[in-house]
Amino acid sequence: MKSVNNVFLVLSLIILHVNVINAQYEREDKEYLINIFSGLSIPMGDFGTSKQEKEAGYALVGFSAGFGFIHTAQQHFNWIVDFYMSFNTYNEEVLQVQIGNFVNVDAGTYVKSWILTGVRGGADIAQSVKLFGFAEVGLLFSSVPDITYSTSDESIEQTTNMGIAPALGLGAGISINTFSISIRYLSGKAEHEQTTKIGNSTSTTDLKLPVAILQLILAINL
């Protein structure tokens, strides 16, 4: 019986020690939190359309990843900085059908980099559970895939340089302890120089391509 009491005493001391550590951790105020996230990148509007239109992006659902910083000086309003990368493959199969199956289409992947900063507001709805929303502005670095059209007789190579444009980000979500789930909308419209090479002939043109993606994001705060 004495040994059982000793076991209970040891367990009680361990539980008390853990609770003290947790309480100290909860009271510890961090000036910044690191937000690491990833999820789906869903093309919206012209960026995701596969219709034969001037600004059609032919982008498919891809994925996003990134990290950010949350300044926690205020309880309900925080300054945030985010760095996003989004990847969306090109719907070359639909384009090939539209221009004819006798033409082989080989396209790469859209790579978009976003650097945004703004304000995040939140409201507690339960212990360790918070709803939040945010608005951001910044820059979009837009990389458009190169495309090669080829037949048995000739090939056409289309290359596009990187474009930079102002960008907007909006979002909302819910956080539970250190984890969060959110929906985020990012948009921008970059200007590019596109070069088309047919045999020994080369031509260039300027074009603006809109980018709009809806992200479904899972994140952890460190």
- Residue 207's CATH number: 2.40.160.20
User: Tell me, what's the pLDDT at 4?
Assistant: 41
User: Tell me, what's the pLDDT at 75?
Assistant: 79
**Tens-digit pLDDT string for the chain (222 aa):** 444 445 444 444 444 443 443 434 443 467 889 999 999 999 999 999 998 888 899 999 999 999 999 998 887 899 999 999 999 999 999 998 898 888 899 999 999 999 999 999 999 999 999 999 999 999 999 999 999 999 888 899 999 999 999 999 999 999 999 999 999 999 999 999 999 999 889 999 998 999 999 999 999 998
User: What are all long-range contacts of 141-144, with beta carbons under 8 Å and residues at least 24 apart?
Assistant: 141/112, 141/113, 141/114, 141/115, 141/190, 142/110, 142/112, 142/188, 142/190, 142/192, 142/209, 142/211, 143/110, 143/111, 143/112, 143/113, 144/110, 144/192, 144/194, 144/209
Same domain, 45 and 9: no
Same domain, 20 and 63: no
Range of the domain at 170: 31-221
Name 88's bridge partners: 110
Structure pTM? 0.83
Looking at the structure of the chain, the number of domains it has is 2
Same domain, 54 and 1: no
Same domain, 16 and 125: no
Same domain, 5 and 64: no
Same domain, 73 and 107: yes
User: Tell me, what's the pLDDT at 164?
Assistant: 97
User: Tell me, what's the pLDDT at 29?
Assistant: 65
Same domain, 21 and 127: no
